[in-house]
Amino acid sequence: MVCTTTLGGTAANVVVANVVHGLMRMTWVPTPVSDEQAFEAIRSGVDALPAGVKMILNSAQFYGMGWSTANLELLSRFYEKYPDYADRTFLMVKGAYNPEKSRVDNAPENIRRSVESCLAALRGTKTIDLFQPARIEKSVPIEETMKALVELKNEGKFNHIGLSECAAATLRRAHAVHPIAIVEIEVSVTSFEEEARKVLATAAQLDVAVAAYSPLCHGLLSGTVTKREDLDPHDMRMHLSRFREGNFQSNLAIAGAIKSIAAKRGCTPAQLCIAWVVSLGNKVLPLPGSTRRERTLENLAAGDISLADEEKSEIAYAMKAYPVKGGRYFDDAEADAILWG
């Protein structure tokens, strides 16, 4: 059985699987996967769903080496080959990246330029169901950003509005301008900061869905990366604070604790982590990545796992006993604070 839920805001009537399929690592890696493998990974999840239930696919303007539109171009080829899947999937796209400035730029003119770039990459094969700025730029008032997004939505460029990496207060201000359908933040047993908890609480109050990305801490918690040598030297994770020498070896402790709890439950460590995120709320949707059919189905099945109170307590104990070393991206919590716009 596949567990389902609905989204928020203007997408409150959209029924989706309660696990999102992240597509980033299909293209934003030194050696992208083949179209055949990527298409099989996408189709397997969609085909496992009951009629009327959509699979959320998470993509971005910049999910390609060199911050390219490679991920959206891959999707355009997928939908061109399998047009029936356009109506069976809900496509959320992060954007507002400005190639000239090499950063997110939420100025209205750049948001428009970003949306047009995403639409061009999709070549008319699929509607953008939800568009979201990838980060909140603090120099641009959120009300101004929302005004630009509403204008583009009303023009039919996309159907719903989302936010990414926003603080709870920002979510509330944005939602007052126009209903937010999904807010995307990082949530895992290694990323459960106070602000993340505030966003979860605010989203629940406003009936906004939360797409919880990196529930497996970029593979650390799933056991797929057990030493730094497992990673390609050009893999972006080599630059993440939690994967750096010293921090990585220390962080294997919580990965080991999760593996032990999962073994007692009879599921994979990845499934345990995904199920834990699901347990945080009805509209909290874990967003793991997958490039292979078997992993897509494993992730989807995790959404149906209901954790016992004792298991939740064991996970909570592990989180306290083995605190993660390193920030979500950078070296310390102060540096990471810039993420919460």
**Residues with catalytic roles:** 63
Determine contact, residues 205/219, Cβ cutoff 8 Å: no
- CA-closest candidate to residue 181, choices 42, 39, 54: 54
Determine contact, residues 42/291, Cβ cutoff 8 Å: no
Integer angstrom CA distances of residue 282 from 1, 4, 24, 133, 306? 17, 9, 25, 24, 12
Strand order in the sheet with 182-186: 21-22, 55-60, 89-95, 130-133, 160-164, 182-186, 209-213, 284-287
Q: How far, in Å, CA of 103 to CA of 67, rounded?
A: 10
